[in-house]
Amino acid sequence: MKVEELEGFIASSFCRSHCVVAGSGTSAIYLVLRALGLRGKSVLMPSVVCPSPLYAVVASGMKLRFVDARLETFGLDLDDVSRRATPECRVLLAVHPFGYSLPREPLQRLAEQLNLLLIEDAAQGGWWLPPIPGSVTILSFGWEKPLSVGKGFWQTNGGRLSAKTSCWGGAVLTDDEQLAREMRLLRDQSPEVHMLTAGRCAGAVFGMPGPEMWWKPIRTFALDSVVEALRRWPENMETRCRVAAVYDRLLSHPSIRKPTSPPGPLWRYSVLLPNRFVRNRVLVKLAKLDVPAWRMYSPLHIRWGYLDKEGCSLNLPNSQEIGSRILNLLIEPDMADSDAVSFARALLSALCDLVVCAEERSF
């Protein structure tokens, strides 16, 4: 299959007029921002997200405006978007965190009210919803994402979990013909854009080299694998919904705060624990049991606050609370319900052990 054929297939699959493929979801964001020609203008984006979108924004020459999150959903606080938007803000990068979908109509109304181009980062979920008119959608086919084209695996390394996968790729979905044309010109005239990923962006912007495997161009992929990933999605979605429902049913505990969004085809099932100490101790216990669990994500504004014009004095209380309390559990398309039961029980057991220890110390 040729790249053009793949782009046509993806566009029709998502009821969009155009698709532009790239080396990763990060390079897809970069392509959009570069094609817009808004260098020096600002992008509103959440602080609780992986660093990859940040790298793409900075590499594109645009500025950052961090926005707080909602504790109930982990997603953008739309009220804070309104508070922090300025005339310099031209783009709203809305991430569907861990697969929990953002509210569609309020998001569309806000973008229209503030005259912002809405970019939906659907790398972790949300792409199955009807597209918002005038928006741009980002897809990712790598890093064990729900639409991953490669079979990866998780390994433990000194109590730390790391992902291993050999396939990458990303895409932009849009109904704007001119924007799609500009992105293709940029991509094809600058072959390195095919290979631009989080590692490459980070290296270019912050002097942090990325692994060579992050630099594979889209042309080296088995493009048919993307088609197969899309065709597998209905079965994949069913499994993810079922596993999320198992977690949701079992993880009813006074020390666990679950998001108010209903469990759907999630990328990771995520909860808030009482505080940083409890969360970190639970993670240590789970790692000893080889239970895949994470603390994603540390708020970006804490480390990269100087990129926002408000600097390191920026206060995003909900983002900081999420960063100190969040715990994520694995969901995979080939995961059995029994695995989810085992992981949930391990989490509950670790919490109970900590409660008992705390009670013993109080006497």
- Write down the H helix ranges in the chain: 3-13, 25-36, 52-60, 78-84, 104-113, 177-189, 198-206, 224-250, 276-288, 300-304, 317-325, 337-362
Alpha carbon distance 334, 183 (integer Å): 35
One domain, residues 202 and 253: no
pLDDT computed for residue 202 by the predictor: 55
Beta bridge partners of 92: 44, 118
Residue of higher predicted confidence among 75 and 193: 75
Tokens of residue 274, six digits: 């009482």
What is the residue type of 178?
Q
What CATH number has the domain bearing residue 139? 3.40.640.10
Q: What is the dihedral of CA 210, 213, 216, 220, to 10 degrees?
A: 180
pLDDT computed for residue 40 by the predictor: 95
pTM reported for the whole predicted model: 0.89
Tokens of residue 62, six digits: 């645009």
Residue of higher predicted confidence among 242 and 207: 242
One domain, residues 121 and 63: yes
One domain, residues 304 and 184: no
Q: Per-residue pLDDT for 200 more than 80?
A: no
Q: Of 195, 227, 259, which residue sits at a domain end?
A: 227
Q: pLDDT, tens digit, for every residue of 61-106?
A: 999 999 999 999 999 999 999 999 999 999 999 999 999 999 999 9
One domain, residues 141 and 286: no
pLDDT computed for residue 266 by the predictor: 95
One domain, residues 125 and 259: no
One domain, residues 214 and 188: yes
Average pLDDT score over residue span 6-19: 96
Residue of higher predicted confidence among 361 and 338: 338
Alpha carbon distance 334, 142 (integer Å): 16
Asked if 194 contacts 22 with a C-beta cutoff of 8 angstroms, the reply is yes
One domain, residues 23 and 163: yes
Q: Of 183, 212, 227, which residue sits at a domain end?
A: 227
CA angle 67, 211, 157 (to 5 degrees): 85
Q: pLDDT, tens digit, for every residue of 40-63?
A: 999 999 999 999 899 899 888 999
Average pLDDT score over residue span 319-339: 97
Domain hosting 325: range is 233-362
Q: How many domains does the chain have?
A: 2
One domain, residues 98 and 222: yes
Q: pLDDT, tens digit, for every residue of 294-324?
A: 999 999 999 888 888 765 568 999 999 999 9
One domain, residues 209 and 356: no
pLDDT computed for residue 201 by the predictor: 58
One domain, residues 205 and 246: no
What confidence tier does 215 reach under pLDDT thresholds 50, 70, 90?
Answer: very low
What CATH number has the domain bearing residue 300? 3.90.1150.10
- Of 193, 176, 255, 191, nearest to 59 by C-alpha is 193
Q: pLDDT, tens digit, for every residue of 229-265?
A: 999 999 999 999 999 999 999 999 999 999 998 778 9
40: CB partners within 8 A, 6+ apart:
61, 62, 63
